[in-house]
């Protein structure tokens, strides 16, 4: 089965070119869009193996779109597509939960490698971005919890159960479990209680 992909890119010519390129590489572009709102609807409707999302969607943000998608489904696999190596953008991208970064000036092989790696459950960052992502600011940010993870850990610290947190935040219990698991991994905690203690100590909640 070919890899199924949804493409979100606001420049029409680039979007159409990418569709042709990816099709030749054996990747099935099941849908594409140039806006964040339509992009989210398409990704939720088609549930692709991976989504390729431009960091800048005109006046909208691909990073915000990615954060919304992963907030609703932490298992969602997104590769951010960028022409920028701005440290602030990259840090925001890290916090969004995207599993990959591909550069627009990269080769076709690099892009397809990024997409296939993330679709298979891995992570991919273009090697040219490593210096920025390994900067002190970026690595400090990587260790922190996302806004949603902090919110959930805070509610758990207040004594709520996972089911009660799910009801409070209008999310499924399974989604809450995934967020907790991700937070525990980031904090290198063995149990929920251990994770809450670390989060309190580090000032995350």
pLDDT tens per residue, the chain (205 residues)?
789 999 999 999 999 999 999 999 999 999 999 999 999 999 999 999 999 999 988 889 999 999 899 888 888 999 999 887 666 677 677 667 788 889 888 899 999 999 999 998 877 878 777 666 655 555 555 457 888 998 999 898 888 888 999 999 999 999 999 999 989 888 888 777 778 877 887 778 7
Question: Are residues 61 and 126 part of one domain?
Answer: yes
Q: Are 116 and 89 in contact (CB under 8 A)?
A: no
**Structural domains counted in the chain:** 2
Question: Are residues 101 and 132 part of one domain?
Answer: yes
Whole-angstrom Cα distance, residue 90 to residue 94? 6
pLDDT attached to residue 143: 57
pTM of the complete model beyond 0.75? no
- Domain span at 105: 3-141
Last residue of a domain, one of 141, 170, 193: 141
Question: Are residues 148 and 132 part of one domain?
Answer: no
């Amino acid at each position: 089965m070919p890899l199924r992909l949804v493409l979100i890119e606001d420049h029409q010519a680039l979007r159409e070119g990418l569709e042709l390129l990816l099709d030749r590489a054996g990747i099935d572009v099941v849908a594409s869009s140039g806006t964040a709102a339509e992009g989210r609807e398409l990704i939720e409707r088609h549930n692709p193996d991976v989504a390729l999302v431009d960091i800048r969607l005109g006046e909208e943000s691909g990073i915000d779109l990615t954060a919304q998608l992963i907030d609703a489904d932490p298992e969602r696999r997104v590769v951010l597509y960028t022409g920028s190596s701005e440290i602030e953008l990259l840090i925001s991208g890290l916090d969004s939960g995207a599993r990959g970064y591909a550069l627009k000036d990269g080769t076709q092989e690099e892009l397809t490698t990024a997409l296939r790696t993330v679709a298979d459950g891995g992570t991919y960052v273009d090697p040219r971005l490593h210096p920025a992502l390994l900067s002190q600011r970026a690595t400090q940010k990587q260790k922190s919890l996302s806004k949603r993870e902090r919110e959930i850990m805070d509610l758990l610290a207040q004594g709520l159960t996972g089911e009660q947190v799910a009801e409070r935040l209008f999310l499924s219990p399974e989604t809450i479990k995934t967020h907790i698991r991700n937070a525990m991994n980031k904090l290198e905690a063995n149990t929920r209680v251990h994770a809450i203690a670390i989060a309190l100590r580090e000032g995350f909640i």
